């Protein structure tokens, strides 16, 4: 829940900062000349800077979500995979989440473990083939 609150704060905080700046830029830099004809350059520049900063925030949020999903996928892979250092990697992945290094550990896990051992092989029991007992009595010729 704490992680969700932090993510929402990252989304809402830029809007709370830049929308009042946009409103004040409109008052400081009038959008038209005194004759009411052509927009002035100051307001357009201010708006352009605000939009650029907002787009940068969107990219940062997208990258953060990508690394969060990567960490979750690597954690699930570690839980499902059977390999000798499983307990150590599981502890490292979980601790890294609380230290804020989950993105780095997920990348390291991907190259050190997932690439090394390949895809997870299914260890589910095979469906037994039908024996002659279930097929009925042998036919006579």
Task: Give residue-wise pLDDT tens across range 39-68.
Answer: 556 666 778 888 899 999 999 999 999 999
pTM over 0.75: no
Residue 134 has pLDDT above 60, yes or no: no
Residue 24 has pLDDT above 50, yes or no: yes
8 A C-beta contact, residue 50 and residue 22: yes
Q: Would you place residue 33 in the very low, low, confident or very high pLDDT band (cuts 50, 70, 90)?
A: low
pLDDT at position 19: 60
The domain limits of the chain are 7-119
């Amino acid at each position: 829940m704490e992680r969700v609150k932090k993510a929402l704060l990252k989304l809402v905080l830029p809007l709370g900062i830049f929308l009042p700046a946009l409103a004040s830029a409109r008052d400081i830099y009038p959008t038209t000349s005194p004759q009411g004809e052509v927009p002035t350059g100051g307001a357009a520049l201010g708006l352009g800077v605000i939009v650029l900063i907002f787009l940068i925030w969107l990219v940062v949020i997208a990258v953060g979500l990508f690394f969060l999903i990567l960490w979750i996928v690597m954690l699930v892979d570690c839980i499902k995979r059977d390999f000798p250092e499983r307990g150590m990697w599981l502890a490292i992945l979980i601790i890294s989440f609380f230290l804020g290094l989950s993105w780095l550990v997920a990348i390291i896990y991907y190259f050190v473990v997932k690439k090394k051992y390949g895809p997870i092989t299914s260890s589910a029991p095979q469906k037994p083939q039908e024996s002659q007992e279930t097929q009925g009595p042998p036919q006579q010729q």
